[in-house]
Chains A and B, each alone.
Chain A
Amino acid sequence: MTTFAQHVMGQDEGPNARSSGALPSIEYDLIRAHILASLVTLVISVLFGITVATKFTFPEFLGGHAWLTWGRLRYNHTEGIFFGWLGNAFLAFFYYVVPRLADRPVLSRKLGWFLFWIWNFAVVLPGWVLVAAGFSQPLEWAEFPLVVAAFVVLAFILMVFEFVVPFLRARLPDLYVSAWYIIGGIIFTMLAYPVGNLVPELVPGARGAAFSGLWIHDAVGLYVTPFALAIAYYVIPATTRRAIFSHFLSMVGFWLLFFVYPLNGTHHYVYSAIPMAAQKGAIVASAYLGMDVILVVTNLLLSLRGSSGTASKDIPLRFVWFGVVAYLLVSLQGSVQALMPVNRFIHFTDWVIGHSHLAMIGFASFIALGGIAHLWQRIPGTRYNERMMNWSFWFLAVGLTLMVADLTIAGLVEAQLWQSSAPWIDSVRAVGSYWLVRTLSGVPILAGFVLFWTSLITGPGFSEASTSATSRVTSENVVAFESVSPASDELSSAGWLSHAHVIAFGAGVGFFALSFLVLAIVPGKELEDEIKQVAPVTMPTLTASEQRGRVIYGREGCAYCHTQQIRSLAADVRRFGTPIEPWETKYDYPQLWGTRRIGPDLSREFNLRPHDWQLTHLYDPRLVVRDSVMPPYPWLFDVGPGQPTQEGLDVLAYIQSLGRARQLSGFDRQTLASSVLPETPEMAMTSEPSARATPPGVPIAIMGGYSRSAPVMHPASDPDDLQGEVSRGAKLFAANCASCHGSAGRGDGKASASLLPKPANLTAALFSDERLSSVLWNGVAGSSMPPWRQLAAEDLRALVAYVHSLHAPTAAPSTPDAKTLNDGQSLFVANCASCHGGGGAGNGPAAGALAPPPTNFTLKKPTQERARDVLENGVPGTAMPPWRNQLSADQRRTLVEFVRSLYVPPQENSGQ
Chain B
Amino acid sequence: MINLIVIAISAVMFALPLVRWRWPAFRVWMEAPKYTMLRQERRFDEQVAERRVSSNLLVEGGHA
Residues on the A chain within 8 Å of B35, using CB: 243, 477-478, 480-482, 485
Q: Decide yes or no whether A385 CB sits under 8 A from chain B.
A: no
Contact pick for A518, options B1, B26, B43, CB 8 Å: B1
A325 at the interface (CB under 8 A from B): no
B40 near A281: Cβ-Cβ < 8 Å: no
Interface residue A674 (Cβ < 8 Å from any Cβ of B): no
A-chain residues with CB within 8 Å of residue B46 when the two chains form the complex: 473
- Contact across chains for B39 and A174 when beta carbons are under 8 A apart: no
Is the CB–CB distance between A467 and B52 below 8 Å? yes
Assess whether B54 is interfacial by the CB under 8 Å rule.
no
Contact string, A461-485, partner B, CB cutoff 8 A, digits 1/0?
0000001011101010110111011
B38 touches A478 (CB 8 A): yes
Contact yes or no, B37 A237, CB < 8 A: yes
Residue of A nearest to B42 (CB): A473
Residues of A within 8 A of B37 (CB): 100-101, 176, 178, 234, 237-238, 243
- Interface membership of chain B positions 28-61, coded 1 if the CB is closer than 8 angstroms to chain A and 0 otherwise: 1111111111111111111111011000000000
Choose among B2, B39, B47 the residue that contacts A281 (Cβ–Cβ < 8 A).
Answer: B2
A777 to B61, CA, bound (A): 94
Contacts of A280 in B (CB 8 A): 2
CB within 8 Å of B: which A355-408 residues = 378, 380
Q: Which residues of B are found within 8 Å of A288, using beta-carbon distances?
A: 5, 9
Q: Is the Cβ of A281 less than 8 Å from the Cβ of B5?
A: yes
Q: How many residues of B contact A (CB 8 A)?
A: 38
Interface size on A, residues (CB 8 A): 59
A305 beta carbon closer than 8 Å to chain B = no
Contact with B along A190-234 (1 / 0, CB 8 A): 000000000000000000000000000000000000000000001
A285 at the interface (CB under 8 A from B): yes
Q: Please report the C-alpha to C-alpha distance between residue A103 and residue B39 in the assembled complex, in whole angstroms.
A: 11
A491 beta carbon closer than 8 Å to chain B:
yes
Q: How far is the CB of B59 from chain A (nearest CB, A)?
A: 8
A247–B30 CB distance below 8 A: yes
Partner of A477, one of B24, B38, B44: B38
Q: Which of B30, B42, B45 contacts A248 (CB 8 A)?
A: B30
Tell whether, in the assembled complex, residue A247 and residue B31 are in contact, meaning their CB atoms are under 8 Å apart: yes
Are the CB atoms of B33 and A177 closer together than 8 Å?
A: yes
Name the residue on A nearest B6 (C-beta).
A284
Return A129 CB to nearest CB of chain B, in Å: 40
Q: Which residues of A contact B27 (CB under 8 A)?
A: 248
What is the chain B residue whose CB lies nearest that of A241? B38
**Smallest distance from the beta carbon of B62 to chain A beta carbons, Å?**
13
Q: How far is it, in angstroms, between the C-alpha of A237 and the C-alpha of B45 when the chains are bound?
A: 14
Nearest chain A residue, comparing its CB with the CB of B52: A467
Do the beta carbons of A490 and B25 come within 8 Å of each other?
A: yes
Residue B16 is within 8 A (CB to CB) of chain A in the complex: yes
Interface residues of A (CB under 8 A from B): 23, 100-101, 103, 172-178, 234, 237-238, 241-244, 246-248, 250-252, 255-256, 259-260, 263, 277-278, 280-281, 284-285, 288, 378, 380, 467, 469-471, 473, 475, 477-478, 480-482, 484-485, 487-488, 490-492, 497, 518, 522
Can you list 19 A-B contacts (CB < 8 A)? A101-B37, A177-B34, A178-B37, A237-B37, A237-B38, A242-B38, A244-B34, A248-B30, A251-B30, A255-B12, A259-B8, A284-B2, A285-B5, A380-B48, A469-B45, A477-B35, A484-B28, A491-B25, A518-B1
